[in-house]
Structure 1
């Protein structure tokens, strides 16, 4: 039996070829027509020739997603949100990792360009943006998530990291802590800058002098989180509380505490970033600044689809989402 055609699908579904084409290309059709088309496609074992379709329409119904680390729980949850929206619109997703290296990020952007994707959702790995400016010349829609560039005008979806960190550290201070260590990300990363700014704001508001010995800059990895808390806990004047500004550095802190036999919320207080089932299982549960990860993904997907369908407005639109503070007994009350 030869391959089924769009004409045969239309005939079996009792709709026009144009209606089937609209459905295949991700446009909305009447619910009853959608049901008949899907049934016909299944019975006929119809497969879209996306290459030929792309040559005709100059669209491939595919979106590239480029992130620093596919294994990061924050990233995986964002991707889930992206795919929820794209799947509904019959768009496929090509997911790539830059491995936290801007040169690989540049190579992957070029790879996605050659794949003829209709648009790209990018979580930048650093503040280096020269390759992004160069890539913009390709006129491929590009939406940023989690991190933005000061000198690049692109649509983006980010969280209010300044307010999130400010509220978290303020809560630590309310519980009587003044010696608060922070395990921050790389100085060149947008989120790390904002989270550090929130930390400083909270200290300043309570007239607590910033002690640079309590500030550790690390890569967003478990190993670096472990190293940083070890340095902080080796100080003569140890911090009584630690703010780990990333999921993996929070994991590193937990591993160190386990290795050293330290009790969370008693021997040392801990505030982490991003929620996970693991953090809920630990007793006491870990206090965290929660980011709406799936919402970040869905908003980014909607933004890239808007650009691919209607073109860029020429103005950047940065959507800022609220974080949520979850406080538990992992932060000890000193007063």
Structure 2
């Protein structure tokens, strides 16, 4: 394998210039082009372990997820990994399946591996052991759960506002009996979505929202749709992608025509049902933008280039069917600490 001195000789620059280039510093454009060409031609590979020891970095970040099987989670992870890999970082991925005890243990595990930063997806700051994140020596970012601890940035999505807007539209269309397939109210996201429904109907005394609590699964969506439709709702809103699939399956089996017999709206992270139903109302979270911003924010904090440590960043959802462009890129609102 080529050495850094051989790269410098081939590029016609000093070893110091090669070192600065590898550390991301800006050089003259012509020199950067020559260095890149020499690296490619010689097949030079930087010794990340030696570099990490020198800079007291491991070039790895910890990513702790609630549900590793979630479609939203995987879309976000893919976006995070793309940015991190380009920056020369690897990801240590682990899950905790809603267990606060397991989450605390996994934080210990990731920190014991000397990660340069932590990303926590849907971990509550009030869980036992989480308060110490304010004092750890690496930057921390919390996704989909607000965190007011020092040293922790929060990246959220305005699910409450999006759901409120969608349900208000259903009411404006004349729907008076709205069925809601909700997730268990044990986490921030589920609570925000159901709160959005309740805020929308609060000022409409002639509108009734009937709630069925599922468990995020497709079978619970099937059962919930059956019960709500038997209760004669004229619109159905589903707070979760998998439950939406189950609800659609029931409608298909029962011969219920979407948008004719029943208004149907739901969350759809990957837009996989776009070819199945026309004129739908669909809330789409900007998963790729969330992951990209999370990775870039963590990298900037690792490199001590960030301001407003402890800030909260809030993305808006897109609502397909209400005029939002499903391909539009969204930028978050920044709430400083």
Give the TM-score of the pair, scaled to structure 2. 0.84
User: Which residue matches 1:292?
Assistant: 286
User: Which residue matches 1:253?
Assistant: 247
CA deviations over 1:219-254 (Å, ceiling 9, x no partner): 3333333333233234xx332211111222222222
User: Which residue matches 1:268?
Assistant: 262
Cα drift, residue 208 of structure 1: 4.1
| Conserved 8 A contact 2:124-2:147 | no
Cα drift, residue 125 of structure 1: 4.7
SS of residue paired to 2:282? strand
User: Which residue matches 1:333?
Assistant: none
Structure 1 unaligned regions, length at least 5: 329-335
User: Which residue matches 1:220?
Assistant: 216
Which of 133, 145, 148 aligns to 1:147? It is: 145
User: Which residue matches 1:132?
Assistant: 130
User: Which residue matches 2:88?
Assistant: 90
**Inter-partner Cα distance in structure 2 for 1:220 and 1:26:** 44
Correspondences of 1:225-236 after superposition (within 5 Å): 225-234=221-230
| Conserved 8 A contact 2:64-2:96 | yes
SS of residue paired to 2:93? strand
User: Which residue matches 1:331?
Assistant: none
The answer to whether the aligner puts 1:58 opposite 2:56 as a matched pair is yes
SS of residue paired to 2:186? coil
| Conserved 8 A contact 1:141-1:312 | no
Give the TM-score of the pair, scaled to structure 1. 0.84
Which of 187, 191, 194 aligns to 1:196? It is: 194
Correspondences of 1:1-335 after superposition (within 5 Å): 3-125=1-123, 128-149=126-147, 154-208=152-206, 211=209, 214-234=210-230, 237-284=231-278, 286-310=280-304, 315-327=309-321
**Inter-partner Cα distance in structure 2 for 1:10 and 1:258:** 66
Alignment CA distance shift 1:69-1:20 (3 Å): farther
Alignment CA distance shift 1:252-1:147 (3 Å): farther
SS of residue paired to 1:264? coil
**Inter-partner Cα distance in structure 1 for 2:125 and 2:232:** 32
Q: Give the paired residue count.
A: 322
**Inter-partner Cα distance in structure 2 for 1:26 and 1:103:** 39
Q: 36-45 or 52-61, which moves further after superposition?
A: 36-45
**Inter-partner Cα distance in structure 2 for 1:89 and 1:28:** 15
**Inter-partner Cα distance in structure 1 for 2:281 and 2:314:** 23
**Inter-partner Cα distance in structure 2 for 1:125 and 1:283:** 34
Alignment CA distance shift 1:44-1:264 (3 Å): same
Alignment CA distance shift 1:269-1:49 (3 Å): same
**Inter-partner Cα distance in structure 1 for 2:35 and 2:197:** 55
Alignment CA distance shift 1:242-1:142 (3 Å): same
| Conserved 8 A contact 2:66-2:97 | yes
CA deviations over 1:63-84 (Å, ceiling 9, x no partner): 2222223332322332333234
- Structure holding more helix per residue: 1
Cα drift, residue 116 of structure 1: 1.9
